[in-house]
Chains A and B, each alone.
Chain A
Amino acid sequence: MKRSLLLISILIAGLGAAVALAHVMDARRIADQNQADESLYVSGATAKRLTLGFNGLAADWYWMRSLQYVGRKIVHFEDTHDAHVSFSSLADLDLRLLPSLLKVSTTLDPQFMAPYEFGATILPEINSDYAIELLNSGIAANPREWRLYQHLGYVYWKRNDYQKASELYTAGGKLPGAPPWMAAMGARMKAEGGSRNSAREMYRHLYDSSKDKAVQDMVEKQLMRLDSLDDREMIRQVIAAYQEKNGRCPVSWREISGQLSAARMVSTPNSGRALKMDATGAPLDPSGVAYWLEGCDVELGKETQVPRK
């Protein structure tokens, strides 16, 4: 009994000491970002051969590593800067390893769609060539997967290459199982590629076809941005009409709240949302934050969740 107690005490004390030592070593370790960005020494093709039939699991590992990598970079950025990371500021994160991580994941398991989708959404903000390379390799491995055409079309649309985007949507729309809107998007992209309405439609389809919460969040923000652009366009028209009538800019929202109320009834027919206003008559952006009146112009409020670009 005594002997058992002694052994249990040694076990507990040893475990405690090991945890304490690990803490000390963690604290001493320099938080060097470059250490986390160590290059991948194994290419996807080599990794696939080394995994001995466990390539699916290895692909999952690299996928989760990609997510952790982006997450870690966001946390580090927000810890060191006085700002939140938005979709438009992804380029500031220095995600130089992300293309390789996604590439390895898809080489290990070419049918794994999530990394393609994630890459199509995130990589164009860093370098769209990486996204195009990733998606082209995906199409080569899965030529009958219409979603990859949708994602590649999106990447080309982001590059303002509407002709190529249209071709990809049209080609994807011909594949078995593709929804009818793919072909319609192809035609729309050709006719009015740069328009806000085609952007809105594309984001909505991207949202509907995605299961990835991060992608859906990004799309929601972009849809909010498009709605906000419509709002601000309409508000500017009201301000311009007020200025023309009174010869000066409005000083407060209350001065034009009547006109805004009238205008909002017919506003934003494409987004399907009506402009809301708070108790002071200030119009609210899609995230529910009041717009800021700046002379004869309107700006997003400081607390807004709507991305600025």
Chain B
Amino acid sequence: MSQMPSDATRRIDSASSPPPTGGSPNNSPTLSLRRTFAIARNAFREAVRDRVLYNLVLFVLLLIGGAIFLGELSAGQEAKIIVDLGLSAMLLFGVFIAIFVGVGLVYKEIERRTLYAILSKPVSRGQFLLGKYLGLCATLFVNVLIMGLGVSLALVYIHRGWDPLVVNIWPAILLIYFELAIMTGVALLFSSFSSPALSALLTFFVFIIGHFSSDLKALANSSSSASARFVFRALYYLLPNLTNYSAIAAASHGTVPDLASVLLAIAYAIVYSALLLAAASLIFGRRNFK
């Protein structure tokens, strides 16, 4: 653990070293990207060192247990239940990682005072946040990818061979990943100005409300008061609409969402995450660390 700050700073140092061709090194887009990726790589390594990926062991045990015992309990619905169980666990574990690791990304650096070492390098606070965000997204990507492969293998095991669900579940997995990317952004936003406990709580609330966003819209439409209508409508657009990422039940029936809705959901996740990161950078940029 004690090696981490030196790792991070060393990587940023090497990313900041001027290119052999010369020019204005510190602000070139290539260098900025290299610095951001150095932070991202470090955040990923830190998550791995923190044994975040150990949740995969629990996940695999859950799937093995499900694959073995569900046949007895589900009256021929093993495949559906394995997909529901696997993808729901993927979302749940991912949300927990996004929340509990996400809220600690910035706080830990402040607490250990390694942030000062990093920010003393030619790294902007925005780059620092973006790097942390990408690092956790990479961790979640590996997590989701391995879990998806686990579910696919469990389906092959249940069917004793090929099952079309093995392919059909992947669009839903992709949507889960982008939902987690949004939640990571939310966690990072809250952690940029709040304590970890409060950030975790607020992020969890956003996760819950995000799945009720259609109710917010319905409330806005059914409300007689103009101000209430405005408030609910504003909340509907302000909070992430996570219902667009709920494709688990459909995936368990082999239903693949149409390409347009998947692409729109991905575009929404990218835009919303960019907004969250911009807001987090704005707040974090004004924070006084003295």
Q: A173-214: contact bitstring with B at CB < 8 Å (1 yes, 0 no)? A: 000000000000000000000000000000000000001111
Residue in chain A with minimal CB distance to B211: A52
B77 touches which one: A53, A54, A60, A111 (CB < 8 A)?
Answer: A60
Q: Name the distance in Å between B159's Cβ and chain A's nearest Cβ.
A: 12
Provide the residues of chain A in CB contact with B255, threshold 8 Å.
111
Q: Which applies to chain A's interface (DSSP): helix, strand, loop or mixed?
A: helix
Provide the residues of chain B in CB contact with A60, threshold 8 Å.
74, 77, 80-81, 84-85
Residue in chain B with minimal CB distance to A210: B76
Q: Name the distance in Å between A54's Cβ and chain B's nearest Cβ.
A: 5
The 25 sampled A-B contact pairs (Cβ below 8 Å) are A49-B215, A52-B207, A52-B211, A53-B211, A53-B243, A54-B248, A55-B246, A55-B248, A56-B83, A56-B87, A56-B88, A56-B252, A57-B84, A57-B85, A57-B88, A60-B85, A64-B74, A64-B81, A67-B74, A68-B73, A111-B249, A111-B255, A112-B253, A114-B76, A212-B75
Across the interface, do B75 and A214 meet the contact criterion of CB distance under 8 Å?
yes
Judge if A59 is at the interface, Cβ distance under 8 Å.
yes
Provide the residues of chain B in CB contact with A49, threshold 8 Å.
212, 215
Chain B residues within 8 Å of chain A by Cβ, number: 29
Residue in chain B with minimal CB distance to A68: B73
Q: Which of B84, B207, B208 has the most CB of A within 10 A?
A: B84
Q: Name the distance in Å between B122's Cβ and chain A's nearest Cβ.
A: 42
Provide the residues of chain A in CB contact with B83, threshold 8 Å.
56
Q: A19-56: contact bitstring with B at CB < 8 Å (1 yes, 0 no)? A: 00000000000000000000000000000010011111
Judge if B44 is at the interface, Cβ distance under 8 Å.
no
Q: Which applies to chain B's interface (DSSP): helix, strand, loop or mixed?
A: helix
Across the interface, do B250 and A111 meet the contact criterion of CB distance under 8 Å?
yes
Across the interface, do A111 and B91 meet the contact criterion of CB distance under 8 Å?
no
Q: B183-225: contact bitstring with A at CB < 8 Å (1 yes, 0 no)? A: 0000000000000000000000001100110010000000000
Provide the residues of chain A in CB contact with B76, threshold 8 Å.
114, 211-213
A residues 204-248 touching B (CB-CB < 8 Å): 211-214
Judge if A161 is at the interface, Cβ distance under 8 Å.
no
Provide the residues of chain B in CB contact with A212, threshold 8 Å.
75-76
Q: B213-251: contact bitstring with A at CB < 8 Å (1 yes, 0 no)? A: 001000000000000000000000000001101101110
Judge if A149 is at the interface, Cβ distance under 8 Å.
no
Known: A49-B215, A111-B250, A111-B255. A56 touches B84 (CB 8 A): yes
Provide the residues of chain A in CB contact with B74, threshold 8 Å.
60, 63-64, 67
B73 touches which one: A53, A64, A114, A211 (CB < 8 A)?
Answer: A64
Known: A67-B75, A111-B250. A53 touches B84 (CB 8 A): no
| Docked CA distance A60–B249 (Å) | 10
B residues 81-112 touching A (CB-CB < 8 Å): 81, 83-85, 87-88, 91-92
Q: Which of B75, B87, B92, B207 has the most CB of A within 10 A?
A: B75
Across the interface, do A53 and B246 meet the contact criterion of CB distance under 8 Å?
yes
Provide the residues of chain B in CB contact with A108, threshold 8 Å.
249
B residues 254-285 touching A (CB-CB < 8 Å): 255
Known: A63-B74, A67-B74, A112-B253. A57 touches B248 (CB 8 A): yes
A56-B84, A114-B77 given; 4 more Cβ-contact pairs under 8 Å: A53-B211, A54-B92, A60-B74, A114-B76
Q: Name the distance in Å between B48's Cβ and chain A's nearest Cβ.
A: 27
Across the interface, do B212 and A53 meet the contact criterion of CB distance under 8 Å?
no
Q: Which of A56, A212, A213 has the most CB of B within 10 A?
A: A56
Judge if A118 is at the interface, Cβ distance under 8 Å.
yes
Provide the residues of chain A in CB contact with B215, threshold 8 Å.
49
Judge if A109 is at the interface, Cβ distance under 8 Å.
yes
Provide the residues of chain B in CB contact with A211, threshold 8 Å.
76
| Docked CA distance A67–B248 (Å) | 23
Q: Rank and list the top 4 A-B pairs by shortest CB-CB distance, nearest first.
A: A56-B249, A53-B246, A56-B84, A57-B88
Across the interface, do B249 and A109 meet the contact criterion of CB distance under 8 Å?
yes
Q: Name the distance in Å between A143's Cβ and chain B's nearest Cβ.
A: 15
| Docked CA distance A55–B246 (Å) | 9
Across the interface, do B88 and A112 meet the contact criterion of CB distance under 8 Å?
no
| Docked CA distance A63–B73 (Å) | 9
Across the interface, do B91 and A53 meet the contact criterion of CB distance under 8 Å?
yes
Q: Name the distance in Å between B207's Cβ and chain A's nearest Cβ.
A: 7
| Docked CA distance A118–B248 (Å) | 23
Across the interface, do A54 and B91 meet the contact criterion of CB distance under 8 Å?
yes
Provide the residues of chain A in CB contact with B87, threshold 8 Å.
56
Across the interface, do B252 and A63 meet the contact criterion of CB distance under 8 Å?
no
Residue in chain A with minimal CB distance to B251: A56
Provide the residues of chain B in CB contact with A57, threshold 8 Å.
84-85, 88, 248
Known: A52-B208, A54-B88. A59 touches B249 (CB 8 A): yes
Q: Which of A49, A57, A63 has the most CB of B within 10 A?
A: A57
A residues 49-90 touching B (CB-CB < 8 Å): 49, 52-57, 59-60, 63-64, 67-68
